[in-house]
């Protein structure tokens, strides 16, 4: 009887530690710290050749809270089948810290259908996002958003709430 009581007490303590760890360590929410946004019009034309176009270059630096979208294109004249890209570079980002970057590219074709791709990173890296689509002739648009994001745990929320009260 004493052995089973000790086992039950040990199991209860272990379960309690797991629950408390989960509450205080699992990401609670991600918030945007800084962002940059760019958009423009796309004219999809019938007799223009297909191409690959880099719309914008995104630069993020979470450590220094810098977000830049460079060389925005403005209005794009293009054919119906295209690859649209965004190049990105994220610097000064330590793996497994609370800061990171999020890049989102959205292309809306002439039918009004959105084609979106997003990349999130929590390390220093560079690369590109691409959206490939075939659109009928007409007007569409693009948008790009670069964000510095912070992932907070419930304990971050609780302790920051206590500081303000």
> Contact, 85 vs 128, CB < 8 A?
yes
Q: At what angle do helices 2-25 and 154-164 cross, to 10 degrees?
A: 70
Query: How confident is the prediction along the chain (165 residues), in pLDDT tens digits per residue?
Result: 567 777 888 888 888 777 766 655 666 678 888 899 999 999 998 877 778 888 899 999 999 998 999 876 678 888 888 899 999 999 988 887 889 999 999 999 999 999 999 999 988 999 999 999 988 999 999 999 999 998 876 655 555 544 444
Beta bridge partners of 148: 34, 101
Give just the sign of the alpha carbon dihedral 35, 61, 148, 88.
positive
Q: How many residues does the chain have?
A: 165
Residue 143 to residue 130: CA distance in whole angstroms: 13
> From residue 103, how far is each of 57, 115, 143, 164 by CA, in Å?
10, 14, 11, 32
């Amino acid at each position: 009887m004493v052995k089973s009581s000790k086992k039950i007490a040990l199991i209860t303590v272990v379960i309690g530690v797991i629950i408390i760890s989960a509450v205080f360590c699992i990401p609670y929410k991600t918030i945007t710290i800084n962002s940059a946004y760019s958009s423009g019009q796309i004219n999809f034309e019938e007799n223009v050749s297909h191409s690959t176009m880099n719309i914008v270059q995104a630069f993020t630096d979470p450590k220094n809270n810098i977000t830049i979208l460079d060389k925005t294109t403005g209005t794009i004249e293009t054919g119906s089948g295209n690859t649209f890209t965004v190049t990105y570079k994220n610097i000064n980002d330590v793996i497994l810290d609370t800061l990171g970057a999020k890049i989102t590219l959205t292309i809306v074709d002439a039918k009004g259908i959105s084609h979106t791709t997003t990349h999130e990173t929590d390390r220093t890296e560079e690369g590109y996002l691409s959206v490939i689509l075939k659109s009928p002739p007409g007007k569409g648009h693009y948008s790009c958003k670069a964000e510095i994001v912070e992932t907070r745990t419930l304990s971050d929320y609780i302790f920051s709430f206590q500081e303000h009260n």
